Structure 1
Amino acid sequence: MDLIDTKVIEWSSTTGIPDDQLKIFISLILCTLFGFIFKLSIRGRQARLTAGSVFGVLITYYIYRSQIINVLFQTVVVYILVKVLGKKSPWPVFVESMIFVAAHHIYRQYTDYGGWKMDVTTILMMDTPKWTAFAFCVSDGLKTQLSKEQEIRKIAKLPSFFEYFSFIFFFAGSVLGPCFDYYDFDQFINEVNEYKNIPSTIKETLRLLKNAIICMGIFLFTEKYFPLHFVATDEFGTYNVLYQTLWFNIMVAIQRTKYYGGWQLGEMSMASCGITYQGDGKFEKIKAIDVDWDLTYNMKDKVEKWNISIQTWLRRYVYTRIYSEEEMKKSASKQNFAYQMTYVVSSLWHGFYIGYYFSFFQWAIMNNVNKAIFRVSCNTNYLKIFETNPLAKIVRWYIATTVFNVFGITFLLLSVDPILKFYSNIRYVPHILLYGTYAFFLITNFGQKSKKQKE
């Protein structure tokens, strides 16, 4: 390990790429290569459980060294809670897991405020959905009234600790995710359903590698021309709104390529072994990102296409668990409460920089506005042009992207002072428009009722 670290430091000095990022890249490449071996030659449940978890532990140790103890400790604690509490385990596990990862966020902010260096918090964030989903699915196995999706994903019998451990430490997804449920993992290990005949994964793996290299290349070569913190300078405030909007939209698009690249590499390490295969020649069962995010003009789609595996976790194990789907259909207030609490959980999962809370609060308001606008388009003819006219669609896309980016910038700036400086520079125009529109719909209820409801 020390020899590898020495080489990584040398490469880091040569390339200018931080050593922790090089370690992550090397780990993902190793997982990908092992994925090919796993797919082609490792057969039988016990062999697949053992090989997948042993390699996963080695990779986790290589990246985090002694900090792997934190992951091992929490993995054991969750299993004990599930075994002891049974049907009542989901929320205790959820709360304990969130507190555990929160403590690491706080420690990281205290020791490396504003830093982006990889530490064990990275894998703890990706394992938290696994721990909590596992508890919910075991609990579902002891219940009778379940939704269709919950019925499919329930765990009828508590797996052995070794099976559960292999799920948590499975090498595919052990570096950057994306995360997945025990149901998908169990189906894959047993090679049943769509996993019976997984086609060659080479083409899909190379496609993801190509996308990742393109994205990372764009970021490395263009980020210096559109630096993030320029939006919080006095000079940025001297430009007109049109120039500012164009500039920060380009800047945020460049910043996104950094995430696209990392997530595509994460998907690559999973695709190589075939766990992302969903049948019909498609490898989209477990995803982190849709790279057409920048092309969609629907705000709902923008939310769902970003960090997809986490969006799925939030929907399955937060939003639909606070109240049942039937309860939320009958009560708009319950639906709204569950929706707001999902944003709160997402904020806490990310950490405690104030920028996260600025972003998620305003994204929540933005999505409420989006829902109101959607109802107007369904119930009236006022907005039909934005569905049919090509030029109007471009305007809609630009507005949706700009609003997302404005509040996404606060997610990147992290601290209060640069955030408020940025808001001041853009004259709070997006905020006035957002809150003004939200207040308009709250006060007037314009277009929110269909003709049938009115009658």
Structure 2
Amino acid sequence: MNNDDLIYASLLLFSITFGYFIRLFKERELRKWVSTLVGLLLVFVVSGFHIVHPLICTLINALIIVNMDKTTCAKYSFAFQFGYLAFFRTTEYFGIPYPPAHTNLVQMVLTLKLVGLAFEVQDTAVAKAKARDKSEDSDTNIQEVAASVSPGFMDIFHYAFTHVGVLTGPFYTYRTYNDWLHTPFSDHAPCFEETLRKLKWLPLFLSLFLTATYFYPLQYAKSDEFYSERSFWYRLWYTYPSFFIFRMRIYSGLIMSECVCTMAGLGAYPVATAPVAGQGPSKDFALLRQVVSDPEQAKKATYNFETIHNIDPYGSEFIPTLRQSMKSWNICIQYWLAVNVYKRLPRNAFRTTVTLFVSAFWHGIYAGYYLCICTVALYLPVEDLYVKHFTKGLGGMAGKIADFVVWFFRLQALSYMAITFFLLTIHDSFKYWNSIYFCCHVLWAAFYMVGVVAVKARKKSNMEKDKSI
């Protein structure tokens, strides 16, 4: 474990512990200010004078959201924030020292929060306009959205720098943050118990991460020895421990970041409102209002933290298809991408690719991010073809074998793609793929062509049978 990882883990542990104390502040305005001041301190500790970057972004976005036309402000926020993200990662070309790695994490989370807030405000304005054009019994969900998000300048500042998730996320909406401050949910939710439930898996993931890193260091894949003395099969196999290390590291970090939320009580909602990861309550808003206004009902309600549920290791490991397993990984960010990018694009064959490109751009400017994330768009059509026409509907032992085969190829595909995420540069990434002859690209293309031919042959055979009948 390097120094960056130690600092990262230490600050997350501090944030988890501090969550217990922040809940002791029953006066909500005091809780808000204390949380923000601690959040600013955390950002300063990891950033130093580079804290100017998140401060500038928050200032400009606050001005956009507060002063511009609410029905169009999101596109300006999106353009500015992602444009600044590109500048932030190329500051050395402008004679400005490159920010520390942890400041990059702060900036990534801030991008999601500020752009997401602009879309919340925009959706609120659009919903209000629709509600005015309808009868008084307009859709309840529209009324709820219209009433929920109208922050002032300082509200945006507090949301951006509250200590909960300021370093690593998970992403949560402004409404969720506002509910944390102004509802009694955190006072009655099982914050400590939920935190312990999540943390019990941490020793396992950390020990697996440290053990695998010791025996299979990622930097070895960049060494001359790796290419000169290792066989094709060893180089191909090395994608597995590399991807395993990556998963264990991410599981550990995301579980700890979830615990920062659970210990502070942020993201707690009544189970009856069917909270959704990233979004919050999805139904029964009338009950939500009742629980807020009735102390006795608030005490009796059953709560969960699904709103900030960001990683499902079991689903990520064992769901057979890539399309479905992706929904178990960085769940709150998947929600952000779906709501703020994918669903706002025209319905065509390119919106999945555009969404993946935005995800890659958000991660960084290294070619490895794009090669890893955007290559998903090449694999999904192959998987979809075989699942739809050959494995779907199979039961019994045949179904289990089919699921295993799909899972095996999904794991190989992700391992093959993910190694470029570590190698980063286009030179190192293509050097590695070239050393194994781009075998997975070739295999996917071959499988796709064979699958298309087989599907056409099956359709032709079925048509001939129908004619003979």
Q: Which residue of 1 aligns with 2:275?
A: none
Distance in structure 1 (CA, Å) of the matches to 2:458 and 2:101? 46
Distance in structure 2 (CA, Å) of the matches to 1:446 and 1:127? 49
Q: Kindly indicate whether residue 156 of structure 2 is the aligned counterpart of residue 164 of structure 1.
A: yes
C-alpha deviation, 1:34, in angstroms? 1.8
Q: Which residue of 2 aligns with 1:90?
A: 74
Q: Which residue of 2 aligns with 1:427?
A: 437
Equivalent residue in structure 2 for 1:354, among 364, 367, 371: 367
Q: Which residue of 2 aligns with 1:72?
A: 55
Indicate the larger mover: 414-423 or 75-84. Answer: 414-423
Distance in structure 1 (CA, Å) of the matches to 2:117 and 2:187? 27
Equivalent residue in structure 2 for 1:37, among 3, 21, 41: 21
Q: Which residue of 2 aligns with 1:294?
A: 317
C-alpha deviation, 1:403, in angstroms? 0.7
Q: Kindly indicate whether residue 329 of structure 2 is the aligned counterpart of residue 319 of structure 1.
A: no
Contact map agreement 2:187 2:265 (CA 8 A) in 1: no
Q: Which residue of 1 aligns with 2:84?
A: 100
Distance in structure 2 (CA, Å) of the matches to 1:362 and 1:112? 33
Q: Which residue of 2 aligns with 1:367?
A: 380
C-alpha deviation, 1:111, in angstroms? 9.6
Indicate the SS of the match to 1:285: helix
Distance 1:56 1:448, change over 3 A: farther
> 1:124-167: per-residue Cα shift (whole Å, max 9, x none)?
10110111111111111111459998875556552122222111
Distance in structure 2 (CA, Å) of the matches to 1:400 and 1:34? 40
C-alpha deviation, 1:58, in angstroms? 1.9
Distance in structure 1 (CA, Å) of the matches to 2:2 and 2:421? 23
Distance in structure 2 (CA, Å) of the matches to 1:448 and 1:161? 62
Distance in structure 2 (CA, Å) of the matches to 1:153 and 1:405? 41
Distance in structure 2 (CA, Å) of the matches to 1:116 and 1:369? 40
Equivalent residue in structure 2 for 1:143, among 126, 132, 146: 126
> 1:163-185: per-residue Cα shift (whole Å, max 9, x none)?
22111111110121111111111
For normalisation by structure 2, the TM-score amounts to: 0.79
Distance in structure 2 (CA, Å) of the matches to 1:371 and 1:152? 37
Indicate the larger mover: 271-280 or 228-237. Answer: 228-237
Contact map agreement 2:195 2:259 (CA 8 A) in 1: yes
Distance in structure 2 (CA, Å) of the matches to 1:290 and 1:365? 25
> 1:15-74: per-residue Cα shift (whole Å, max 9, x none)?
x741x43333232222212211222x2224423322221221222222222222211111
Contact map agreement 2:212 2:241 (CA 8 A) in 1: no
C-alpha deviation, 1:75, in angstroms? 0.5
**What fraction of aligned residue pairs are identical, expressed as a percent?**
21
Distance in structure 2 (CA, Å) of the matches to 1:55 and 1:338? 39
Over the aligned positions, Cα root-mean-square deviation in angstroms equals 3.5
> 1:230-271: per-residue Cα shift (whole Å, max 9, x none)?
445565687666655544213311222112111111111111
Contact map agreement 1:387 1:393 (CA 8 A) in 2: no
Contact map agreement 2:46 2:100 (CA 8 A) in 1: no
Indicate the SS of the match to 2:447: helix
Distance 1:448 1:344, change over 3 A: farther
Structure 1 counterpart of 2:366, one-letter code: Y
For normalisation by structure 1, the TM-score amounts to: 0.81
C-alpha deviation, 1:435, in angstroms? 2.5
Q: Which residue of 2 aligns with 1:4?
A: none
Q: Which residue of 2 aligns with 1:27?
A: 11
Contact map agreement 1:375 1:447 (CA 8 A) in 2: no
Q: Which residue of 1 aligns with 2:257?
A: 266
Indicate the larger mover: 362-371 or 310-319. Answer: 362-371
Query: Which one has a bigger Cα radius of gyration?
Result: 2
**1:186-225 alignment, distance < 5 Å:** 186-191=178-183, 195=185, 198-225=188-215
Distance in structure 1 (CA, Å) of the matches to 2:40 and 2:176? 20
Q: Kindly indicate whether residue 46 of structure 2 is the aligned counterpart of residue 63 of structure 1.
A: yes
Structure 2 counterpart of 1:284, one-letter code: E
Q: Which residue of 1 aligns with 2:329?
A: 306
Distance in structure 1 (CA, Å) of the matches to 2:74 and 2:457? 40
Distance 1:287 1:153, change over 3 A: farther
- For this pair of structures, how many residues does the alignment match? 420
